[in-house]
Structure 1
Amino acid sequence: MARPQCSRCCRPVSHCLCPLIPDLANHTRLLILQHRSEAGHALNTARLAALGLRNAQLWIGEHFDGLEALLEAEAGGAALLFPGEQDAPRGNSAPIKPRLLVVPDGSWRKARKILHLHPCLGKLPRLCLSSGQISRYRLRKAPMAGALSTIEAVTLALNMLEAPARFDDLLRPFEALIEGQIAAMGEETFLRNHGDQP
């Protein structure tokens, strides 16, 4: 028999994260495009990010009807949070200040598939985070150096775009989620499977 589930955070009621989810006002609109395979995942950080921000939407699927029209309506005011060659200006140039930040969510393969299925995303300027970031996501082995969970990437991006405002409180439910998963598996199992990570 399935455990009762919180309708908001989609966690078991006994492990509901809602009391830890902040209510943060962000000026940069956030659109998270979550691959449908991630929606039911126990460690769904995209949902936590969307719930903690007043100006955020979470679209779930693979083909997103209306995405191209939405980006056209933004008339150059959108950017894509994803590594790539079209980085935001660096050095003495002012960083881009998008009105809308689009964030693909899924495994690297699934996120790239979303980009492939929606060529309009490839035309957006890319906002790339500084290299050398270390993820707090201790339950997954990063596929590459600097790989972050969606909620970590969103937090860093908003901290950069909306400084001096800070969005670190977004990470509170994420950290509780990680600690809860470690407690459920037991410290010994965690160290055996994940103890070699930085």
Structure 2
Amino acid sequence: MPRPSCPRCQRPLRHCLCALIPDLDSRTRVLILQHPSEVGHALNTARLAALGLRNAELRVGEVFDDLPQLLAQPGYRACLLFPGEDAVALTGYAPEEQPLLLVVPDGTWRKARKLLHLNPLLAALPRVSLGAVAPSRYRLRKAPEEGALSAIEAIVAALDALEAPQGFDALLRPFDVLIEGQIAAMGEEVFIRNHQR
């Protein structure tokens, strides 16, 4: 029989994270497009980000037929948070600058690229990237390359860059607790053997 889970954060009730999820406002609108393979993942960080930000939306799928409507948000300039040669590093807003609709693909690098391939409108968006970032706190997954972050960490870094001096670190509280809980569940020895290299 499946363990009862929280309908909001989708964690087992005994490990509900809702009390740690903040309620943050942002000028930037965040649209997270999540590959279906991420939905059942124990560390669904995109969901935590969407729950903690008032101006965020999480959509799940491979092909988004309503993408034109999602991208045409009045008062926002749509851009894609994804590395590339033509990607511009995010910096703070100028005083009168129109805020961004920050589109964040969520999945492995392969799945994220697939989302771009299947949704040409996404691939056509101007790309933005993060400047120098702290190493990932996601100690349970080996980063495929230097500077790779989980979805929630990338969103926090982007918002911190755009909306300084406002900070968005509170979004990472449930993420940190989730990681610690996973490490505790596997045992310190197993964690050190499999993840500390």
Counterpart position of 2:161: 160
1:193 aligns with 2:155: no
| Residue equivalent to 1:83 | 83
The residue type paired with residue 32 of structure 1 is: I
Equivalent position SS for 2:31 = strand
Q: Identify the residue that residue 17 of structure 1 maps to in structure 2.
A: 17
| Superposition RMSD in Å | 1.9
Distance change (3 Å), C-alpha of 1:84 and 1:180 = same
Name 1:102's counterpart in structure 2.
Answer: 103
Task: Note the residue ranges of structure 2 that are not aligned, 5 or more in a row.
Answer: none
Runs of 4+ in 1 over 4 A off after TM superposition: 72-76
The number of residue pairs the alignment matches comes to 193
Matches within 5 A, 1:50-89: 50-72=50-72, 77-88=77-88
Once the two structures are superposed, residues 48-82 of structure 1 have per-residue CA deviations (whole angstroms, 9 ceiling, x without a partner) of 00000001000001111210233245597111111
Contact 1:132-1:145 within 8 A present in 2 as well: no
Query: CA offset at residue 87 of structure 1?
Result: 1.7
Relative to the length of structure 2, the TM-score reads: 0.92
In the alignment, the residues of structure 1 paired with residue 20 and residue 53 of structure 2 have an alpha-carbon distance, to the nearest angstrom, of: 13
- Return 72-81 or 131-140, whichever deviates more: 72-81
Aligned residue for 2:88, secondary structure, equals coil
Q: What percentage of aligned pairs have identical amino acids?
A: 66
**How far 1:7 sits from its partner (Å)?**
0.2
SS in 2 for 1:27: coil
- The separation in 2 between residues aligned to 1:166 and 1:58, in whole angstroms, is 21
CA deviations 1:140-183 (Å, max 9, x no partner) are 00011110000000000000111111101000000000000000
Taking the aligned partners of 2:183 and 2:90, their CA distance within structure 1 comes to: 38
Stretches of structure 1 lacking an aligned partner (at least 5 in a row): none
| Equivalent residue, structure 1, for 2:184 | 183
Letter in 2 for 1:164: P
CA apart distance, 1:88: 1.7
- Contact 2:90/2:131 (<8 A) preserved: no
Q: C-alpha separation between the residues in 1 aligned to 2:122 and 2:59?
A: 15
Q: Whole-Å Cα distance in 1 between the matches of residues 108 and 148 of structure 2?
A: 11
Contact 2:48 2:175 (8 Å CA) reproduced: yes
1:168-179 alignment, distance < 5 Å: 168-179=169-180
Change in CA separation of 1:90 and 1:162 when aligned onto 2, cut-off 3 Å: closer
1:89-168 superposed matches below 5 A? 98-131=99-132, 133-168=134-169
The Cα shift of 1:99 comes to 2.6
